[in-house]
Amino acid sequence: MKMKASFGRIAAGLMLASGLFLASCSKNNEASTALTEEEIAMTNASAEAEAEGEIIFDDVFNNIMGVNATVGIGGTGEFQASQSDQPGMLQSACFTVNIEQLAAPAAFPVKVTLDFGTEGCTGRDGRIRKGKIITVYTGPLVKPGSVAETSFDGYFVNGIKVEGQHRVENKSTSTQFTFETKVIDGKLTRPNGNTWSWNRTRTISQTDGWGTPLLASDDVFSIIGNGSGTVTIGNLSGTWTSTNLEPLVKRFNCRWIVQGKQAVQRPNRPEAIIDFGNGDCDNKATLTVNGVSREITLK
């Protein structure tokens, strides 16, 4: 049977495990059991943090690419015309877009601010966003060598605060449409104060949709790369590294990573495997630690 878990439940489990450890420190076998439970719980938390960070920053990529066909490819993320395959009711755009030419009359560099307001804006995908995504483009992102650097101002997704820097560079060749994306000093903070910090580099290469360059909805990309992070739950924290086992698959007509596997490893601790699925567009993934698998829900 698959079990669903949240960071809140993990935190409670960690507190219980810590209490058991202190109460039974005179019994080596009991202490060893409690410590093992704590290690597994932290491995679970690290893997969930990796998966959650991947989804939230991939959403940033979709939105900065989707603004329009001048700075990106247009029609992706919150700029997609139809999201009938997504949870939640379809809603009109509840955010504003401000475009500022930084060296006018030259078209670039240009700063684009997506302002979701301070009260909460329910997107077409059912996510609730507030605050600002601020991106400076050196040139059109469809042009090799162009860079988009993004920062955040009071930005939240479903109550999770998003901080750090996001960078996209077009590294395409004459035969392959490719982007390098980086999360630099990324930080996600939940309402209960639990945090995870993250740095990662990904190479995103187009695998389908070449024949319709003006239609983003049929584009499919393969994602490979590694990263590292730190998760903090209460007074406990742990570090991890992530390695790509099978390329992650993203489609611009879906807000979730639909396929692929990522391994998450804590120092001298059990390895966790995140399986993003078999291609279905949903917010589910399977997390396996020590041979035990359970379903997790992504934000």
What's the CA angle centered on 57, arms 186 and 211, to 5 degrees? 145
Question: CA-to-CA distance for 60 and 151, rounded, in angstroms?
Answer: 10
Span of 23-37, 104-118, 186-200, 276-290 with lowest mean pLDDT: 23-37
Higher pLDDT, 1 or 129: 129
pLDDT confidence of residue 6:
42
> Is there a contact between 37 and 17 (Cβ–Cβ < 8 Å)?
yes
Q: What is the mean pLDDT of residues 9-18?
A: 39
Q: What is the mean pLDDT of residues 10-22?
A: 38
Q: What is the mean pLDDT of residues 34-40?
A: 65
Pull the structure tokens for residue 50. Answer: 């990796």
Peptide bond into 109 cis (omega under 30): yes
Higher pLDDT, 13 or 238: 238
pLDDT confidence of residue 82:
53
The one-letter amino acid code at 274 reads I
DSSP symbols for 122-142: E-TTS-EEEEEEEEEESS-TT
Higher pLDDT, 252 or 296: 296
Q: Has residue 27 got a pLDDT over 80? A: no
Pull the structure tokens for residue 51. Answer: 């998966």
DSSP symbols for the chain: ------HHHHHHHHHHHHHHHHHTTT-HHHHHHHHHHHHHHHHHHHHHHHHHHHHHHHHHHHHHHHS-TTTS-SS-GGG-S--TTSSS-------EEEEEETTTTSS-SEEEEEE--SS-EE-TTS-EEEEEEEEEESS-TTSTT-EEEEEEEEEEETTEEEEEEEEEEE---SS--EEEEEEEEEEEE-TTS-EEEEEEEEEEEEEE-TT-TT-GGG-EEEEEEEEEEEEEETTEEEEEEEEEEEEEEEETT-SSEEEEEEEEE-TTS-EEEEEEEES--SSEEEEEETTEEEEEE--
pLDDT confidence of residue 216:
67
Q: Exposed/middle/buried for 251, CB within 10 Å: 0-12, 13-18, 19+? A: buried
Q: Has residue 26 got a pLDDT over 70? A: no
pLDDT confidence of residue 234:
86
Q: Has residue 199 got a pLDDT over 90? A: yes
Q: Has residue 86 got a pLDDT over 80? A: no
Write down the mean pLDDT value for the chain.
83
Q: What is the mean pLDDT of residues 275-288?
A: 93
Q: Has residue 4 got a pLDDT over 50? A: no
pLDDT confidence of residue 211:
67
pLDDT confidence of residue 167:
98
pLDDT confidence of residue 92:
54
Q: Has residue 1 got a pLDDT over 70? A: no
Question: CA-to-CA distance for 184 and 298, rounded, in angstroms?
Answer: 21
Question: CA-to-CA distance for 231 and 145, rounded, in angstroms?
Answer: 34
Encode pLDDT of 65-76 as tens digits. 989 999 998 888
Q: What is the mean pLDDT of residues 290-299?
A: 88
Encode pLDDT of 119-177 as tens digits. 989 887 888 999 999 999 999 999 999 999 999 999 999 999 999 999 999 999 988 88
Question: CA-to-CA distance for 220 and 17, rounded, in angstroms?
Answer: 43
